[in-house]
Amino acid sequence: MAIDPKSFTQVVHAGAEPDQATGAIMPPIYMTSTFVQSEPGVHQGYDYSRADNPTRELYEKALASIESANHALAFASGLAAEQAIIQLLDPGARILVSDDVYGGTGRLFRRLFARYNLDFQFIDLSDDSVVKAAATAPTKLIWLETPSNPTMKVIDIAKLAKVAKAQGALLVVDNTFASPIFQSPLALGADIVVHSTTKYIGGHSDMIGGALMVNDAKLFEQLKFIQFAAGAVPAPLECFLLHRSIKTLAVRMQQHEKNALAVANFLQTHKQVKKVYYPGLSSHPGYDIACRQMRGFSGMVSFDHRGSYADVVAFLQKLRVFTLAESLGGVESLVNHPEKMTHASVPEELRRKLGIGPQMIRLSVGIEAADDLLADLAQAL
């Protein structure tokens, strides 16, 4: 598996246009809420920054380019982008959701949107028989994350696209874990791609953001209206910084993946480790699908510790290069305890079914030297 060499060029030039007024190579940051009008309703294409802002527009162009999409929209957080997608639906709609989505996604659906008479069915979308049984009732949306957070479940996007099409449902793929460098859900038949740009796209753990990408012009218009009407837009400075981050996305992802593979291989042979979850290991149940639909396995690795919860806490506290914190996808390595941190809001019964227990640890493998990461894990284990 290898990154498409064109990606290295694409990310550098995505949405990059010298400023027409001054020739500046980097785009100006339009820190303005509003724009002058020469008479009511007559302006130079911008009237109010919730609707459109030139800095956001260029960043959105870059986002569309890296997902090879016709259109992209930027949001103030990953969950704000997700919220915009759900706002496409009418009350009564039935939605099939992968059962191991990010805890906050499940919370948004269960705690907020279920109150609006939306019927979310959390099921195992990697199991053909479960999908077949669920797809008999009318469905408006199928929502999946692949690889999933935190169990790295791999779901066959092209297969689910066919199921969605047969239902007249939209297929949404959360591509946060793979990043646009390693996976292109739209090319596999998805209708909407969603990202927490807080993660790999931002890459430096200094911003919260979200994005969605689509090819269909009508769907784009509907989502653009929701973005404008509901207003969860990012600020111009954040758009500038996220746009800047995109330029190094391919080189960062290359190093994340190289390190993650080294970490997964190391953990697999360690006597204190019971099980490793990484789609790049041939022992992973989704390995064959991952090889088919991904160009790389990305930088997220989970594992089960063999010891007690007290041993897990001791391990987390002994780490020196990995930092205990929520989030992922930054240049620095992070470690997370899904049960107590990112997935604490998942109902306990479901957590147990998914295997998110006290012994599970999730690593966001950064771009440091692999030897330093392995040495840190070794001394802490």
Per-position x/- string for 160-179, each x denoting binding to ligand P1T as judged by CB under 6 A, each - no binding:
--------------x-xx--
d(CA 68, CA 129): 32
Distances 326 to 238, 335, 339, 363 between C-alpha atoms, Å? 20, 8, 12, 10
Residue 218 bears catalytic tag: no
Of 56, 140, 153, 199, catalytic: 199
Supply the minimum distance, in Å, between the C-beta of residue 334 and ligand P1T. 8
- Does residue 323 bind ligand P1T (CB under 6 A)? no
* Residue 332 sits in the site that holds ligand P1T (CB under 6 A): no
Count, residues near ligand P1T per rule CB under 6 A: 20
- Identify the residue whose tokens are 């527009």: 57
> 116 catalytic, yes or no?
no
Is 104 near ligand P1T (CB under 6 A)? yes
DSSP states of 57-114 as a string? Answer: HHHHHHHHHHTT-SEEEEESSHHHHHHHHHTTSPTT-EEEEETT--HHHHHIIIIIGG
Element (H, E) at 276: strand 273-277
* CA separation for the pair 192, 210 (Å, rounded): 13
Considering only residues 179 to 238 of the shown chain, the ones binding ligand P1T according to CB under 6 A are 196, 198, 208, 210
Catalytic residue check, 318 = no
Decide if residue 105 touches ligand P1T (CB under 6 A): yes
Indicate if 100 belongs to the active site.
no
The distance of closest approach from Cβ of residue 354 to ligand P1T in the complex, given in angstroms and rounded to an integer, is: 14
Q: What are phi and psi of 120, to 5 degrees?
A: -90, 125
The torsion region of residue 23 among left (phi > 0), alpha (psi -120 to 50) and beta comes to left
Q: Which of 99, 100, 156, 174 is catalytic?
A: 174
Among 7, 27, 99, 102, binds ligand P1T (CB under 6 A): 102
Among candidate residues 46, 47, 50, 61, the one labeled active-site is 50
Q: Rule CB under 6 A: say whether 326 interacts with ligand P1T.
A: yes
Is the torsion defined by CA of 338, 343, 348, 351 positive or negative?
negative
Smallest distance from ligand P1T to CB 132, Å: 26
Catalytic residue positions?
50, 102, 174, 199
Q: Which residues bind ligand P1T (CB under 6 A)?
A: 77-79, 102, 104-105, 145, 149, 174, 176-177, 196, 198, 208, 210, 326-328, 336, 342
